[in-house]
């Protein structure tokens, strides 16, 4: 059986919160808070970076009238810049 990480502490939730902050965060459905994001439709198909780069380290992507540069680094990471 696992124990909660806060068990054994004598502090109450109100004493762990910074002064001036509520003890519990506001719920997203309260006024002034946006609703959580919703997923609509099927998930997008995953594309391989090898298919996108086609042997190059950099490609240009046209999207909504703007050009973006997708670059593969030597460390195997991807960088997308506008």
Burial readout 27-51 (b: 16 or more C-beta within 10 A, e: otherwise) = eeeeeeeeeeeeeeeeeeeeeeeee
Q: Is residue 40 part of a domain?
A: no
Q: Is residue 34 part of a domain?
A: no
Could you tell me how far CA 80 lies from the centroid of its own chain? 16
Confidence check: pLDDT of 2 > 90: no
Q: Is residue 38 part of a domain?
A: no
Mean pLDDT computed over every residue of the chain: 75
Question: Which CATH number goes with the domain that contains 64?
Answer: 2.10.70.10
Q: Is residue 8 part of a domain?
A: no
**What confidence tier does 50 reach under pLDDT thresholds 50, 70, 90?**
very high
69 contacts: CB under 8 Å, gap ≥ 6: 58, 59, 60, 61, 79, 80, 81, 82
Domains contained in the chain, number: 1
> Which residue, among 54, 61, 62, has the nearest Cα to 70 in the 3D structure?
61
Q: Is the separation of the CB atoms in 71 and 57 below 8 Å?
A: yes
Q: Is residue 73 part of a domain?
A: yes
**What confidence tier does 12 reach under pLDDT thresholds 50, 70, 90?**
very low
Confidence check: pLDDT of 81 > 80: yes
């Amino acid at each position: 059986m696992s124990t909660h990480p806060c068990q054994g502490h004598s502090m109450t939730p109100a004493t762990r919160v910074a002064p001036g902050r509520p003890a519990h965060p506001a719920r997203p459905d309260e006024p002034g808070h946006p609703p959580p994001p919703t997923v609509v439709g099927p998930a997008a198909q995953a594309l391989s970076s090898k298919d996108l780069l086609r042997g190059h380290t950099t490609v240009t992507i046209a999207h909504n009238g703007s050009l973006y540069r997708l670059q593969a680094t030597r460390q195997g990471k991807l960088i997308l810049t506008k």
